[in-house]
Structure 1
Amino acid sequence: MEKPTHLIDFETMLLGRHVHHNSPRPRRSGGQLDSSAYVLLSRIDIEGPMSIGQLSDALGLDTSTLHRQTTSMLGRRLLERIPDPDGGMARKFRITDEGKALLDGERSGSIAALDTMMADWTAEDVAAFAAYLKRFNTDIERMGGRPWPRP
Structure 2
Amino acid sequence: MDMTTVGEPGLLDTLQHEVAVFARRAEQTRLGGVGQVRNSMDRAAYLLLNRLDKEGPMGVKALAASMGIDSSTVTRQVAPLVDTGLVKRTSHPEDGRAVVLQLSPRGMSRLEEVRSSRRQLMSELTHDWAPQEREAFTALLTRFNTALSDRMSTPGMPTGDSQPAS
User: TM over 0.5: same fold?
Assistant: yes
Partners of 2:71 and 2:33 in 1: how far apart?
26
User: What is the aligned counterpart of 1:117 among 111, 125, 133?
Assistant: 125
Instruction: Give the superposed CA RMSD.
Output: 2.2
Cα deviation, residue 76, structure 1: 0.9
Which ranges of structure 1 fall in alignment gaps of 5 or more residues? 147-151
1:65 maps to a residue whose letter is T
1:2 paired to 2:11: no
Residue correspondence of structure 1 range 2-151 to structure 2 within 5 A? 2=8, 4-21=11-28, 23=29, 26-28=31-33, 30-87=38-95, 89-145=97-153
Partners of 1:20 and 1:40 in 2: how far apart?
17
Is 1:81–1:91's contact at 8 Å kept on the other side of the alignment? yes
Poorly superposed stretches of 4+, deviation over 6 Å: none
Which ranges of structure 2 fall in alignment gaps of 5 or more residues? 1-6, 155-166
Q: Percent identity among equivalent residues?
A: 28
TM-score w.r.t. the length of structure 2 is: 0.76
Is 2:33–2:119's contact at 8 Å kept on the other side of the alignment? no
Is 2:41–2:114's contact at 8 Å kept on the other side of the alignment? yes
Cα deviation, residue 61, structure 1: 3.2
Counterpart for residue 149 of structure 1: none
TM-score w.r.t. the length of structure 1 is: 0.83
Please tell me whether Structure 1 or Structure 2 has the larger radius of gyration of its CA atoms. 2
Is 2:33–2:114's contact at 8 Å kept on the other side of the alignment? yes
Cα deviation, residue 18, structure 1: 1.3
Aligned length: 144
Cα deviation, residue 129, structure 1: 0.5
